[in-house]
Each structure stands twice: as structure tokens, then as C-alpha cells.
Chain A
Amino acid sequence: MGEVLHIKGLTAGALTGLNLTLTAGECLALTGPRGVGKSTLLRGIAGLAPTKAEAMRFQARDLLTLDAAARARAGIALCAEGGIFATLTVAENLALGARLARPGPWTPKRVWALFPDLRTLGHRPAARISGGQAQMLTLGRALLANPALLLVDEVTTGLSPLVAGQIHQVLDVLASEGMALIVAGALPNGRHRSLNLEAA
């Protein structure tokens, strides 16, 4: 499996001189106390937070020359807590993810099979779904783009252990299918490696 992400000497927010390499099918868990820069790093890779770096490559493309929209089109997806559009319906939020729809295994049918709530609640404004459903929506929406790199920011915060466990299982499946993942927050036992940003 090839290299998906390569970062050298990255400075963003509180982070300085961070180096990171990620290959396809690999899952990296970012750990460290609140405020250490986990979200900033993910937003920086997605292009939403200002970053400086000596080198930043995604699948051999130079990320430093791409804005957030171009990074999304290239195959980087960010799902973050609170990232849903509350004034749009559930189905419309999903349709935004499907705009990019790169070739890949994730179709609306597969997302609905994974999260049946997203189908039954399709016409409901996203402002009126539960926290757990909102997390499923951000994840399902990101998957519809079939990203090569999925950045997951705290999507299990505040969820019941059952739902959180379900989402962690999904993340395992994604990595086993060859997606590269970076997850902010510790993960339960699974095939992933951890990076403590406090020590990095």
C-alpha cells in the first residue's frame, strides 16, 4: 500500500515541527490533552486552518498549493462534531457529501444500510435529530465522497457506549478496506497506531 499523507515540519496553532506519514489502510489516533492541537491538525490538513509546513503531500500531490475545496475534491474528507448544516434536511446534508462522489465502495445504499436512521429521517431538518444521529450523519456524509483520507474529529464525544462502539467498528472496517484515517481522540483496542501530540 502506498503513502497517502506525508507531512514534514508542520506548524499550526500550538503545534510546531510535526512530522507524520500515513499509508493506505492505516489508522492513526491522535492523543494528548484538550487544547494540544488535535482539531487544529485535522483542520489544517483539510485546509480550513492556516498552516505552515516544509512539505505536505497527499498521494504525491503538493497540498500546500491546494485550498480546502481542492483538497476535498482530491479525496480528503473531514468529519467533525457539529459539522452538519442544521437548516438543511438529513437527505440534503448527505447530498452535499455525494457532490464529490469519487469512485469507491460507498454508495447511498451502503451508508443507509450502515446507518438506517439516515434513511428514515431523510426529510427531517438536521437541526431536529439527536446528537448520535448527527454524528452518524457527518460520518455517512463524509463516506459518500469516497475519500482516500478520512479525518475524524471527536465524533464519538457524548455518545452512548453502544453507538460509540458502532462507530469505532465502522472506522475499523474503513481502514481494512484501504482508507487512511486520522482520528482525534483515543481509540479502543484495534489495528491502529497512536501519536501523542504532547510528545511530538
Chain B
Amino acid sequence: MTETLANGLLLGGLYALFGLGLSLCFGVMRVAQLAHGDLAIAGAFAALALSDHLPLWVVLALVPVLAFGLGWALQRWLLDRVMGDPMRPMLVSFGLSVVVQTLLEQAFGPGARGLQTQASTAAVSLGGLSLGLVPLATLGLAVGLFAATWGLLHHSDRGRVIRATAENARAVALFGADAGRVRSWVMGLSVALAAVAGIALALRGAVTPFAGGERLLIAFQVAVIGGMGRLWANFAGALALGLIHAVSFRLDPGAGLLYGHLLLVAVLLLRPEGAPR
């Protein structure tokens, strides 16, 4: 059981990565970005395609940068044109999610593929437990990225402007900032974080072009359980979700993700302010 709990925490690290970008995006722009999961999977497939030609460490550095550019352009030339009523960017992102999924299927076929390396099956012995190296690294990366994002938001000029934009996008112009650029930058960061999560997923297992929807669901649960834009609460929520999934897979394998969904329902009933306002 100890090993199940440990694996649940490690799974939570992966969930946290999926939730981080979505929570950031919703926290600043109040837009439910429905293509988040598919863009994460696109990041995984981009890494797969590039890893045939480039060393893995180059791929791991390059794909998030490309994803940042994609997110930046997406906000600047697509989503920013329909901002205002939150429904419209949400519908555009839904359309985008379908397009990304179809493109991935056309380009890579419907089969499952994984980003296999020597490290994929490596295990680390820790206090009598045998834990996978990739899941451990994923949890470490999640902690690092949450800390970095928090530091950016609370201890940098850019972060102050991002938080001010989240509160009142029109008023930041009075301080020389361009809210449109801020939104593009945040969306770039959000999609880059999605790509990192997608790569982490492909490193520990296999992905198909259709995996985005399930990943979006995980990301939403993480973001909602902690409260959109509240990073450390999101992180705790992700660990809780990972623990529940790991324990329920072991005790009640037929139930799938049911108990995770029940956690979400319980949180919404007990603490509705944690839900998006």
C-alpha cells in the first residue's frame, strides 16, 4: 500500500503539470481553454517526431519554446480577436481542439506511441520502495515549475503586470503595459507548460492523438479543486487526485476515474468558491 501511495503522489506530479498551464490561463484571461489537453498531446507528438533527428535533451528544450510561440500566436491572432464575452474564446478553443486532434491523427496515425529512452524503465530505490525515475523526475519538475511560476507572478515586474491585467485589463495601460501582449505572453507560457506535461506523459507511457480530452479533464479537475489561478492549492489538489486514482485503481480497478470525479463533486459541493467564478 505504501508503494501505491507513493505512486499516487508521483502521478499527482504529472497531473499538476497538466493543471498548471490551464490554471494560469484561466486565472489571467478567464477563458476555459478547451484545447489545452490536445495541445499537450501535440507537444508530445512534436517531441516524438523531432527525437528521430535530434538528441533528446535538445528536443526537451526545443519543444516548449516552439509551444510558447504557438500559444503566443494563437492568442495574438485568434483568441484576442474574440475576447470580451468568455463564451466566444471558449468555442474557438473547442474548435481548435478538434483541429489539433484531426491533424495529429492525419500526421501520425491513430496508434499509440511513446517516447522511449533508457530512462523510461529505470527505477530508483528509495526507503525500500522501487519508484520509476521518470515519474520521480516529473514530480520534481512539477515542483520546480510551480515554484518558478509563483515566483514569476509574485516577484517580478512582468508578474505584477500579469496579475494586474487579470484584475483589470484596461487599467494596466495607465502604467505603460499592453494587455494584449500580456495575454499573448501568458498563453505562450500556458501552451509551453501544456507541452511539457504532454512530453512527461509520453516519457512514462504511450499517447494517442485522442488522449487530449482525458488530459483536459485531468487539468480541469486540478484547476477547479484548488481554485483557478491559485497555484499551490492546485498543486495540493493534483496530489490528492493522483492519490485517489492510484488507490482506487488498486482497490476497485473497474471504477476507472470515478473516485477522482467524486472528489471534484465533493469539493464543488463543500467549497463552491474553489470553482471558477
Chain B binding surface, main DSSP class: helix
B256 to chain A, nearest CB (A): 38
* B160 CB-CB contact with A under 8 Å: yes
- Within the assembled complex, what's the spacing in Å between the Cα atoms of A83 and B170? 11
Cβ 8 A contact of A99, one of B157, B163, B166, B168: B157
Q: Does B80 contact A (CB under 8 A)?
A: no
Do A96 and B175 have beta carbons less than 8 Å apart?
Answer: yes
- Interface pair B171/A46, CB less than 8 Å apart: no
Q: Are A85 and B168 in contact (CB under 8 A)?
A: yes
Interfacial chain B residues near A95, Cβ < 8 Å = 157, 160
CB-contacts of A85-123 with B (<8 A) = 85-88, 92, 95-97, 99-100
Interface of B toward A, CB cutoff 8 Å: 157, 160-161, 163-164, 166-168, 170-178
Are A87 and B166 in touch, CB under 8 angstroms? yes
Contact B175 A78 (CB under 8 A): no
Known interface pairs A48-B170, A92-B160; 12 further A-B residue pairs with C-beta atoms within 8 A, sorted by A's residue number: A46-B174, A47-B173, A48-B171, A48-B173, A69-B173, A69-B178, A72-B176, A77-B174, A85-B167, A85-B171, A96-B160, A99-B175
Chain A residues near B160 (CB-CB < 8 A) = 88, 92, 95-96
Residue pair A96, B173 in contact (C-beta under 8 Å): no
Q: Does A100 contact B175, Cβ atoms closer than 8 Å?
A: yes
A191 within 8 Å of B by Cβ? no
B168 CB contacts on chain A under 8 angstroms? 85
A residues at B contact (CB < 8 Å):
46-48, 67-69, 72-73, 77-78, 83, 85-88, 92, 95-97, 99-100, 145
Closest 5 CB pairs of A and B: A68-B173, A69-B173, A96-B175, A73-B176, A72-B176
14 pairs across A/B with beta carbons < 8 Å? Answer: A48-B171, A69-B173, A72-B176, A73-B176, A83-B171, A83-B174, A85-B164, A85-B167, A85-B168, A87-B163, A87-B167, A96-B160, A96-B175, A100-B176
Q: How far is the CB of A47 from chain B (nearest CB, A)?
A: 7
**Cβ–Cβ < 8 Å partners of A96 in chain B:** 160-161, 164, 172, 175
Which chain B residue has the least Cβ–Cβ distance from A70? B176
Cross-interface CB contact of B167 among A68, A78, A86, A100, cutoff 8 Å: A86
Contact B164 A72, beta carbon cutoff 8 Å: no
Set of chain A residues within 8 Å of B176, measured between Cβ atoms: 69, 72-73, 99-100
Q: Closest Cβ of chain A: how far from B273's Cβ, in Å?
A: 15
Closest to A95 in B: B160
Contact A88 B177 (CB under 8 A): no
A100–B174 Cα gap in the complex (Å)? 10
What's the nearest-Cβ distance from chain A to residue B210, in Å? 38
- Are A72 and B163 within 8 A (Cβ)? no
| Distance from B186 Cβ to chain A, minimum over Cβ atoms (Å) | 15
Name which residue of chain A comes closest to B170, CB basis: A48
* Minimum C-beta distance from A55 to chain B (A): 22
Cα distance A34–B166 when bound, in Å? 30
A72 in contact with B175 (CB, 8 Å): yes
- Smallest Cβ-Cβ distance to A91: which chain B residue: B160
| Minimum distance in angstroms from B168 CB to a CB of chain A | 7
B80 to chain A, nearest CB (A): 15
Residue of B nearest to A144 (CB): B175
Closest to A141 in B: B175
Min CB distance A93 to B, Å, is: 8
Chain B residues closer than 8 Å to A68, beta-carbon distance: 173-174
CB-CB under 8 A from B173, the residues of chain A are 47-48, 67-69, 72
